[in-house]
Amino acid sequence: DQQVKQNSPSLSVQEGRISILNCDYTNSMFDYFLWYKKYPAEGPTFLISISSIKDKNEDGRFTVFLNKSAKHLSLHIVPSQPGDSAVYFCAASEGTGANNLFFGTGTRLTVIP
């Protein structure tokens, strides 16, 4: 059973507006959460992460929010740019160590100029 879920396969947003990508998880033992960005024919690239002791982490235009009680996290991109168009994967792990990441199925973001 999928332990990390991204229920929106796609999202379209106008340039300059906010993009909000959502992710849910079922395993309460997960304590690190990450977002990866993937362009076609390339490997995923790390974007931003958050540990379970925090509820928010910011890096420039990207902010990740974690709601542990709801087992939900979200990625906010403000303002959205056409270069942000890609597939975004949510991932989670139990403890540190990227050798055991559980990934969601991805959300394809399209930023319309």
Partner 1 sequence: NAGVTQTPKFQVLKTGQSMTLQCAQDMNHEYMSWYRQDPGMGLRLIHYSVGAGITDQGEVPNGYNVSRSTTEDFPLRLLSAAPSQTSVYFCASSYRGHTEAFFGQGTRLTVV
| Chain residues in the site for partner 1 (CB under 8 A) | 2, 4, 6, 32, 34, 36, 41-46, 49, 89, 91, 93, 96-106
Q: Measured between alpha carbons, how far is residue 81 from residues 14, 62, 68, 100 in Å?
A: 8, 12, 29, 31
Compare residues 73 and 80 and give the one whose CB is closer to partner 1.
73
Cβ 101 to partner 1 shortest distance, Å: 7
- End-to-end, the C-alpha distance of the chain in Å comes to 38
Cβ 85 to partner 1 shortest distance, Å: 19
Cβ 73 to partner 1 shortest distance, Å: 14
Q: Measured between alpha carbons, how far is residue 89 from residues 28, 34, 106, 113 in Å?
A: 19, 8, 4, 23
Compare residues 34 and 77 and give the one whose CB is closer to partner 1.
34
Compare residues 46 and 82 and give the one whose CB is closer to partner 1.
46
Cβ 70 to partner 1 shortest distance, Å: 21
Q: Which amino acid is at 58?
A: E
- The residue among 2, 3, 5 whose CA lies nearest residue 106 is 5
